[in-house]
A = this chain, B = another copy of it.
Amino acid sequence: MQKSQNISRSVIVRLPRYHRYLSELISMNIERISSKELASHMALTASQIRQDLNCFGGFGQQGYGYNVKALYEEIGKIIGVDKLKHAVLIGAGNLGRTIASYMNFNDCGFELSAIFDNNPEIFGLTVGGIAVQSIDEFESYCSTNTPDVAVLCIPSSAATEIANTVISCGIKGIWNFSQKDLIFQDDSIYVENLRLSDSLMTVRYHLKD
């Protein structure tokens, strides 16, 4: 369960997939699974799965495989979904409001607790049970609430400035939906850049002309 010894990004991005697929197996009342079976369902190899899991510990049993429920719990703990961290969302436009209401933050290890915007017309508007407040109140909010993560649903033009603001207020992680990809050298800050249009462009690339 130690994240210490530099787990590669390739492994990390597979953890949520394992987690999700195991939850499907649980809902199908499947008790045990071998790396071979898991591999065939997830388009991976059995070796890869065993290598991945052994970064964190030996969760299986020779001759048996893995207990689905137990492995699901372990991976949940590795990701950290069992301990909710504190998230805030900035930018309550079209996309921001959808993310706030559509995403199940709790299942991903977060409690979404505040939404900020710079447009006075939507101050007080409730999204997913949370009232939108002015971005001007962000700093004072942070001094009392110390959020861990900021979800940025803002235009590229504002991205760098807002990112610097949230980091100076102690934010340790950014889930960035803006087009501008945010790059920080300080590795105590983790930034996950989504870049929806980049993703769409890869679909375009793969089509024959």
Contacts and interface: CB of A to CB of B under 8 A. Distances in A.
Contacts of A209: 80, 83
Interface in A49-106: 78-81, 83, 85, 94-95, 97-99, 101-105
A16 B198 contact: yes
Please classify how large the interface on chain A is, using the bins under 10, 10 to 19, 20 to 34, 35 or more.
Answer: 35 or more
Contact of A200 (B17, B78, B105, B197): B105
A182 to B, nearest CB: 10
A80 B202 contact: no
Contacts of A194: 196, 199
A175 to B, nearest CB: 5
Nearest to A190: B206
Given A16-B197, A149-B207, 12 more contacts: A3-B205, A19-B201, A20-B179, A78-B205, A79-B204, A81-B201, A94-B98, A98-B98, A105-B200, A108-B200, A173-B204, A175-B203
Give this chain's copy count: 2
B199 A175 contact: yes
B172 A208 contact: yes
Contacts of A197: 16, 20, 103-104, 107-108
B20 A198 contact: yes
Which residue of A3, A13, A179, A197 has the most chain B CB atoms within 10 A of its CB atom?
A: A197
Contact of A80 (B17, B108, B204): B204
Contact of A108 (B85, B183, B201): B201
Query: Lowest 9 A-B CB distances belong to which pairs?
Result: A109-B204, A16-B198, A190-B206, A98-B98, A16-B201, A108-B200, A173-B203, A80-B204, A43-B183
